[in-house]
Structure 1
Amino acid sequence: KWMTETPVDALKIVPAHIGALLDAPDAAAMLPRRALILGGDILTWRLVDRIRALGGACRIFNHYGPTETTVGACMTEVLASLRDSHAIAVPVGHALSGYRVDILNSLGQAVPDGEEGEIVITGAAVAAGYTRPETPGSERFGCTADGQRFYRTGDMGCRRVGGAVAFLGRRDDMIKIRGHRIEPGGLAELLRSCPNVRDAVVLVQRQEGREPTLLAAVAGDAAADAITSWLAQRVPAAMIPGRIVVWAALPLTTNGKIDRQALLAAAAAQPLVSSASIIPAQQGVDGRADDGRLKIMRDLWCDVLQRADVGPDDDFFALGGDSIMAIQIVGRARAAGLGLTPTQVF
């Protein structure tokens, strides 16, 4: 309403924030007259299409840079010529005046165009460091041989033909699960194309002594089991999140970004499996009378597979199980007094 009454020429906003606002009536009124600048998170082509569908005449820019580099270090105008049929995200563009942006490998060497590496930003606007030297991440600051400050962002990227930088995601978020290299950002974008899903984010949950697991938080009206079935037709079992939590709307930070910590905290507050509430002891699973062995096995599967949607007729390997997990199942089952053998699992 305010922007309808007081039009603005330029607006800078986080993608997740404007994505949430696009669901409001008269969303076109929120668009500025001249320039819409998006930054602070991955800008997807799908969101660009939604904005363009509103009919606004403003130019759209993608802007990239962490706080440690005094924010913006790269920018590009979002033009159709930048679009790659295989790319989910819009490139972040070229370095702004006063900055140099390099894509380096783990040895600090530049990688060839098209190959991924860490985004490293050099320039006078790069901070000298954190106020408190013990702050985690302080080791990412440094100086070149000629005295220029640089910052290793922890973001992964590559340089496309023409020199534009493409952001690929956080280095810490890229994981391997059962041999599959998984990029949570790409999986989240796939989830956004699922029927009745408006938005999605995929987070990595890590526990000592366990393989990392995926948590998907989605905003929409789809049921978690329907989303799981939809994903199963499109990706390997290892890429299906062990938990899918459906929200009416994803929580945002005061800066308009998706509040990942709030999502993780909410998931942690809700146990993966509540044996007492899910499986009445005297009745068994799905109303089948048993002596408790079926319940024990279901609890074991849920714990090892890190998912709550386990039924009595499910296939262990179709749910993402592997040979290592099968050994864990056998060991735990025997510890619980069940004479399970590897042959029975396989």
Structure 2
Amino acid sequence: MKGKSGMCWFIFILVKFGFIHKKFHYLSKLKIALWMTISFIFGGYLIYADMKAIIWGATNDISYMYSVLSTDILLPLQTCLSFPLLGYLTFADNEFMIDSELKPPRRLIHLFFFIVSSVIAHSFMANVLSQIVNTICICFMMALCSITEIISVVLIGTSLTHLQLNIIKMNEVEINPHKGEECQKLIYRFKNQKRGLGPNLLLIFSTRMIVLLSFTYFSLQHISSIPLLSFVVSIGLQMSYITFTLDDCYNTFKDIKKTLREILNKSENQNQELLNSLIIDVEDETPFSALDFFIVDTSLLTSVLSTLVTYSIILQQL
């Protein structure tokens, strides 16, 4: 690891601990199974403790506990599935994992505020739940949830930034005989990124949307509840960071078409058919999506906001 960048060290640590993996051999399978089992056991215990608090009246604020329960039900799913899905992402495009000069993600200020808000939100929630749940259990589960959440966002940002910088670098290079092949490789990488990110985006946005809707409603009921408000802020920063990063990468990818047209104008006849097909591929390529269930772009944030406002008004009137 001598001479490697700081991001390379970060990736190296994630691989060693089993959060992500480069090769799907028996050791990586064992690490994934171990983390998933631990997540499921501790997550199941949290759900049991929440139900016990509601049924036996361990708390005077039942509505608050229902909002906590709605989140804790998703915790086993959210943490368990993160490990294989992050591994799937690295399998789809592992070019960034072998780059010795790997750069940190873009939008670092936005990313920093998300990481801080995620740690604060899960710390607040651990403090609240420790009154009715075993302290060690809740602290471990909240830490694991925050870690997987942060790693997912950082890894998505890192892989997209690496692809985006490679596209920008390729576009700045003068026309040469090998530039068409470089464009073809980058188009292939972009498609692999879309395929690898699809399951992660579906998991993140579906679970976060449910939690955000629940916590937004109960934040209106308990406007002074800092844990609930901190979660709303954290989820908003997470979804906006991922969306803006995906949108930036997609817009940069579309610039390949201009480069391909320049190569086409200076190319020999035998390469024109290939270049034309690559141009069509770039033109037909759609933005990132969550396994084609929904497109993840800036318009999604508007839809999320309008949904929150609509359902909050409806729930307030019940």
TM-score, structure 1 as length reference:
0.26
Structure with the largest fraction of strand: 1
Higher relative CO (CA 8 A, sep ≥ 6), structure 1 or 2? Answer: 2
Larger Rg: 1
TM-score, structure 2 as length reference:
0.27
Structure with the largest fraction of helix: 2
